[in-house]
Amino acid sequence: MRTTNWQMFRFSLVYFNSQTSIFLIPIIVSGSAYQGWTSILIGSALSIILLLFMIKVGKLKPGQSWVQFGEQYMGKWVHGVLVFLLLCWCVYYASYDIGNFVLFFGSNYMRGTPPLIIQLVIGMVIAYTAAKGLATIIYMADGVFLLLIVTTCFSLYLFLPNANFQMLPAFIHYFDLGNTIKGSFGVSSWFAEWVVFLFVAPELKINNNMLKKILFAELVLTVLVLSGWTLTMLNFGPHLGRDLQYPYLDMVRSSSHDDILGNLDPILIGIWSASMFIHSSFMIYAASKCAMYLTKQKGKKVVVPFLVMCSVLIAYLYSRSITRYYKDFSSYTAVCVWLVVECIPVYYCMAAFLKSKLNKPAS
């Protein structure tokens, strides 16, 4: 596999933007209202800390996967438990992707279609992409990247004409420390999925050059989310804004433009769908690496389809109880679970530090 660090920049941005641009902004508006900008900035800063830990773990054994060398630092059983935890998290997160996709298309374009049919079709696409490996997923992100940036900029442009800039002082006057802290942890759980990037090794070397590129991706992502949140607030306010499920699409559809700018919604949907497939495929790819470690490299041909079917099953069960799905999707319990998993690199850094101190020869 021949990839560059700039490809990792593009992949990182597409991977994270698939969720944040569609689903995070309404959650920030609903949870943090006028002080959402502080939650975004602090949450992004917290995710950068976890990114630095991920890079540190990736550099412990250059050329080796974290799954392979992790037991040297945490022990076989503890490492196995953490690998299994990450496996379950990836499968569960992929089910959220499938559920979101079904809810969107089922309510807008495929009314009357049984959710299970949509889920199975999506599952087959995800399984096929994940089975192709990391190179295919990264090259798919290359193809989506430029279209993603262009359409996002056009979408933000459509927010500007009707924005009420007199609302800007409210962003400073309203402040609640507890709400900011809670919102910051919520944002960081969306921004800090860096633990799965440990699976780009040994196919791609994790080093300081990669760190610079994905730090740049984090900065661009933060600017995009902050811009989207700001313009959503200025157009819809905190009350109507919290009721929006898809702010970008709602703004495009309500636009007065009759040219291509006012008909961007099919393009936005297509790009988001491709981004979601990339996100889900990489999740299943990471889960398959965990499963192969736990099964000692057995069942290589069936592990990806089996994991995808698990995600489809969870999504199907959620489709039978949409209220439970929305409750779990936006609950603070989910935020805590997400952060526990996303902090896995921290645990290994601490173990590596303690091991280096204990094994340090006496002077």
CA distances from 57 to 32, 167, 206, 347 (A): 33, 44, 9, 10
CA separation for the pair 14, 10 (Å, rounded): 6
Q: Calculate what percentage of the chain has a pLDDT beyond 70.
A: 89
pLDDT tens, position by position, 250-273: 666 665 555 555 566 677 777 888
Return the closest-CA partner of residue 196 out of 346, 342, 8, 13.
342
**66-94: average pLDDT:** 92
**65-83: average pLDDT:** 90
CA separation for the pair 28, 38 (Å, rounded): 10
Residue bearing the bigger pLDDT, 207 or 223: 223
Give 7-74 as a 3 state SS string: HHHHHHHHHHHHHHHHHHHHHHHHHHHHHHHHHHHHHHHHHHHHHHHHHHHHCCCCCCCHHHHCHHHH
C-alpha torsion angle, residues 120, 283, 187, 162 (rounded to 10): -50
| Average pLDDT value for the chain | 83
Say if residue 208's pLDDT is above 90: no
Say if residue 289's pLDDT is above 60: yes
Q: CB under 8 Å to 84, separation ≥6 — which residues?
A: 290, 294
CA separation for the pair 103, 18 (Å, rounded): 16
Counted residue by residue, the chain has a size of 363
Q: Is the pTM of this model over 0.95?
A: no
CA distances from 202 to 7, 198, 225 (A): 16, 9, 31
Exposed, middle or buried, 182 (CB in 10 Å: 0-12/13-18/19+)?
middle
CA separation for the pair 98, 277 (Å, rounded): 9
CA separation for the pair 252, 263 (Å, rounded): 7
C-alpha torsion angle, residues 105, 130, 132, 294 (rounded to 10): -160
pLDDT tens, position by position, 185-196: 888 888 888 888
CA separation for the pair 310, 313 (Å, rounded): 5
**134-139: average pLDDT:** 89
CA separation for the pair 194, 214 (Å, rounded): 10
Cβ count within 10 A of residue 114: 13
CA separation for the pair 112, 106 (Å, rounded): 7
Most confident of 14-18, 250-254, 282-286, 318-322: 282-286
